[in-house]
Structure 1
Amino acid sequence: MKTQYFDEIHRILRQVEATQAEPMDLLAQKMADAIRAHKNIYAFGCSHAGILAEELFYRTGGLAVVNPILAPGLTLTVRPVTMTSQIERIEGYGRTIVIENGVAEGDVLIVHSVSGRNPVPVEVAIAAREKGAFVAALTNIAYSESVSSRAACGKRLFEVCDAVIDNCGEIGDAVCAIEGMPEKVAASSTVVGAAILNSIVADTVERLVKSGTVPPVFMSANVEGGDEHNAVMLEEYKDNIKYM
């Protein structure tokens, strides 16, 4: 069964590589532009989708200026964790999240939602665009098209963003079929989403280097010189780092 999972992940990644270059390139360019202009970069998702917001910040080889939006009630630390499924359906909360996190004109916001149907991620995207931010969705278009929106506006995430990156996964996210079991198992969105976003980080850094900008990239704190390098990054970009 582990072979089947690896096969499926490889297939999905190849599909992403073959079909998603344009929106991925656009997001990398917008992130590079924002960094050069000392604007802010944010990442947001609800429940498991929020894992990718955590993937992008304060880590070796990552951009120091990516700020996760870890809204109360929407992380996997909530107990009971089933509350997250209800809170991401609360109308109005997404707009509050954008306002309270100070998303503004010229900023970049990545919103990850696999189904793209619930009110909070949809509202976050809409409210951020109203503020003048560039909003990119990471979602599963086939999955999202197979369900109705739960948001009052009637829109799904892919319908309200400036750029849409399809994770090319299965409807329902799980990818492995086991004989004798009706449901598939083993989700792909976290693995594939992390690959997509880390490749965009690498592309962003390359664009910065080519333009003559020193990229705000963290070194491992466990290699010689890492602490000193990271201290410089944190000081230089302190106005764009919201998580300290």
Structure 2
Amino acid sequence: MKTLLMFCVSAALLCVAISKNEYLNVQIPYRNPPPGSSKSVNFITTFNLDSINSVFKDLNNAKGTAATPKGVTILVKKTWKPPNSRIPITANFTSADDATFKANNLMSSKTSGRINSLIDQVSNDTVVIIVYCVDGWNVLPVSSGWTAPLNGKFKVVEDRNLSATLVEIPYDEFVSVIYAKPDPGTEDTLFPKLDPATIDTLRQSMTLKSISKEFPKVKLYTCVYEIVEMFSVGFTLRTYTEYGFMISLTYGGYV
């Protein structure tokens, strides 16, 4: 089975600006390739961290919404009382070890065992862990063969400087994916150019278009989490937030 695993962890104080979106970019063969073939496409998984953080903002706001977005689970320290008591809590944890175990076990169970031990260890100051997972999304229609057709209206950008066409396929408010198909002969040069800032700019240039293209099939398993710590410095309550995410892909004729 052809499977790719990738992960990334980033952290920032809430008072420091963080990127609204984060990306994991991998190359996958465009077709079942002969040895030495370089024909490939870039498959980019996008994570909307603002959407994840909005769940905590609601939880920490007595006037926040009472609804929990589909696919989101919330773990809360037993001794911390969220200002918004109307949001359903998935489970409580009693210690850092208990929180780490429950969060990792949750992510494994919600991805058919594909995402394991994403969180190394949380601190004793952790009060909330918010987890969102996708359990085996067939990005393209299921069919025989390595590729499948993508038909309909999607956000698209054709960039001459990159010599590539990018097509974004949304899953929900938290996750979407982008196929970046390089022009013939530019496969080796596209990947290093697709840094987060460039992807952000390209997404802003996308327009909704009717398309009919073929891409390699992908089945996506992914989790993204937000860990929130609260601690006192003198008379000031500080909040520290850490994000992490991982993907597991099955692609091509193995989907």
Same fold (TM over 0.5): no
The two structures have a TM-score, normalised by structure 2, of: 0.24
Answer 1 or 2: higher relative contact order, Cα 8 Å, separation at least 6. Answer: 2
Bigger helix fraction: 1
The two structures have a TM-score, normalised by structure 1, of: 0.25
* Largest Rg, 1 or 2: 2
